[in-house]
Amino acid sequence: MKWMIASDIHGSAYYCRKLLEAYEKEEAERLLLLGDILYHGPRNDLPEGYAPKEVIELLNARKNDIYCVRGQL
């Protein structure tokens, strides 16, 4: 089974789409996200394409293929 591992999307729909394009191109069966999916953090500038609601929609469309680890508490 082929897995893709990623982290630190930080609510960027732009980078989430790029990640999902790579996931499909690589024909991975599962996607493991290692935290920092939605929030960019209080000390960071907004990432390109910051749209956390869109990120949720993109990831929920593939929810059966995704495992997530929570980021910092």
Task: Report if residue 15 sits inside a domain.
Answer: yes
pLDDT in tens, 9-27: 999 999 999 999 999 999 9
At residue 48, the pLDDT reads 87
Q: CA–CA separation, 12 vs 26, rounded Å?
A: 21
73 lies in some domain: no
Query: Does 52 map to a domain?
Result: yes
Domain-located, residue 48: yes
Contact yes or no for 30/3 (Cβ under 8 A):
yes
For the chain, the straight-line distance linking the first and the last C-alpha, in angstroms and rounded, comes to 31
Give helix 13-26 / helix 52-60 axis angle, nearest 10°. Answer: 20
> Number of structural domains, the chain?
1
Domain that holds residue 31: 3-68
Among the listed residues 39, 49, 61, 44, the one whose alpha carbon sits nearest the alpha carbon of residue 18: 49
In a domain, 57, yes or no: yes
Per-residue pLDDT tens for 45-73?
A: 888 899 999 999 999 999 999 999 987 64
